[in-house]
Chain A
């Protein structure tokens, strides 16, 4: 049985969405047990409100009343908020009481947990967030999507190796294509970080490096993995999300603007729905922190039960595929 830790108090939408997802996941998969970290009383109430007998359905509740919020300094929070869900789950991962931990809590605190509690895999300098995004072709890993804002070329090189391994495991692609995010496709374009990183990745012939890629081409699926530092990666991610949201709102507004356009809207509804399903990022789950000694998956802060359900499935799959053990084995070679 796979033991998945779930942070009930980390997300913006409260415990209710997490407990909904927990119940749904327990019903669909009898091979998981859920260890839920958060305020015990609230969690019990949510189960009770949903008429779910958690006691006899592979649920353990770990009381963790403190909350690490977005204004807390991540490392100071780890040192002081020892009764928080993230710190308690980090220790449970370290003590091998969990196989994976899913949280929509503070990215900084989760990354600090990977760095200071479960620690990086030997040889890895910085564990890193790899988010999966939909494109016109294949799913694409954006690495780093917001972990290490000041990065070094050697780290970016390691991100390429970690993401390459993760992509192969997740999508059964033997040689995923790797692009380096820059301001032009030519080898000499970029800043000192990308120019140095380019040379490092290019030298490794085991990687299918296609060179520099530009942000505008990423949504067209120009590569399977895009390597960048956490600052540029996070700016790209939020621009991508914001643009998609704005376009959808504009389309909706336009459709509702007149009687004729409403009829047009009805006609295109099935095609639009199909399109939206294809571009729904939540089906890929959350962003795992790659390169750590244990599996921690970060969900979007405003996740609802749907996002949590997909992320629990992802955690189950990655544990079954032995992501951590295989990454360790691969890096030790």
Chain B
């Protein structure tokens, strides 16, 4: 999986440049994501890589790193 592509998706939804993406940034508090942003982002990654992120895992995503890990670990 091209992790750079996942970062690009996150950066696009956060409306920031990809090289400014901090792995520890909190999606809600630092990047101002709401639940719709989060799900849109995950669904975009699911479609791109033809994967399915586990629903329980999806609800645990808090940071950029969590999002990357969830997509990477998805089957």
Interface residues of A (CB under 8 A from B): 73, 75-76, 79-80, 112, 115-116, 126, 148, 150, 152
Task: Closest B residue to A127 by CB, please name it.
Answer: B36
Asked if A76 contacts B34 (CB within 8 A), the reply is no
Question: CA of A73 to CA of B59 in the docked complex: distance in angstroms?
Answer: 9
Q: What residues of chain B lie closer than 8 Å to A112, measured between beta carbons?
A: 36, 39
Give 15 pairs: A residue, B residue, CB < 8 Å, sorted on A.
A75-B35, A75-B36, A76-B58, A76-B59, A80-B55, A112-B39, A115-B36, A115-B40, A116-B39, A116-B40, A116-B43, A126-B36, A148-B36, A150-B34, A152-B32
Question: CA of A116 to CA of B40 in the docked complex: distance in angstroms?
Answer: 8
Q: What residues of chain A lie closer than 8 Å to B36, measured between beta carbons?
A: 75, 112, 115, 126, 148
Question: CA of A194 to CA of B39 in the docked complex: distance in angstroms?
Answer: 27
Question: CA of A152 to CA of B36 in the docked complex: distance in angstroms?
Answer: 13
Task: Closest B residue to A80 by CB, please name it.
Answer: B55
Residue from B32, B36, B40 with most neighbouring chain A CB atoms (10 Å): B36
Give per-residue flags for B23-45: 1 if the beta carbon is below 8 A from chain A beta carbons, else 0: 00000000010111001100100
Asked if A75 contacts B39 (CB within 8 A), the reply is yes
Q: How far is the CB of A124 from chain B (nearest CB, A)?
A: 12
Question: CA of A58 to CA of B37 in the docked complex: distance in angstroms?
Answer: 40
Question: CA of A115 to CA of B41 in the docked complex: distance in angstroms?
Answer: 13
Interface residues of B (CB under 8 A from A): 32, 34-36, 39-40, 43, 55, 58-59
Question: CA of A163 to CA of B40 in the docked complex: distance in angstroms?
Answer: 25
Question: CA of A150 to CA of B37 in the docked complex: distance in angstroms?
Answer: 12
Q: What residues of chain B lie closer than 8 Å to A75, measured between beta carbons?
A: 35-36, 39
Asked if A148 contacts B34 (CB within 8 A), the reply is yes
Task: Closest B residue to A75 by CB, please name it.
Answer: B39
Q: How far is the CB of B5 from chain A (nearest CB, A)?
A: 21
Q: How far is the CB of A7 from chain B (nearest CB, A)?
A: 22
Q: What residues of chain B lie closer than 8 Å to A73, measured between beta carbons?
A: 59
Task: Closest A residue to B34 by CB, please name it.
Answer: A150
Task: Closest A residue to B36 by CB, please name it.
Answer: A115
Question: CA of A112 to CA of B55 in the docked complex: distance in angstroms?
Answer: 15
Task: Closest B residue to A74 by CB, please name it.
Answer: B35
Task: Closest A residue to B55 by CB, please name it.
Answer: A76
Q: What residues of chain A lie closer than 8 Å to B43, measured between beta carbons?
A: 116
Question: CA of A115 to CA of B58 in the docked complex: distance in angstroms?
Answer: 18
Q: How far is the CB of B32 from chain A (nearest CB, A)?
A: 8
The 5 closest A-B pairs by CB, nearest first: A75-B39, A150-B34, A76-B55, A115-B36, A79-B55
Residue from A75, A79, A148 with most neighbouring chain B CB atoms (10 Å): A75
Task: Closest B residue to A78 by CB, please name it.
Answer: B39
Question: CA of A112 to CA of B40 in the docked complex: distance in angstroms?
Answer: 10
Task: Closest A residue to B53 by CB, please name it.
Answer: A79
Question: CA of A148 to CA of B58 in the docked complex: distance in angstroms?
Answer: 20
Question: CA of A15 to CA of B23 in the docked complex: distance in angstroms?
Answer: 49
Q: What residues of chain B lie closer than 8 Å to A152, measured between beta carbons?
A: 32
Question: CA of A73 to CA of B32 in the docked complex: distance in angstroms?
Answer: 20
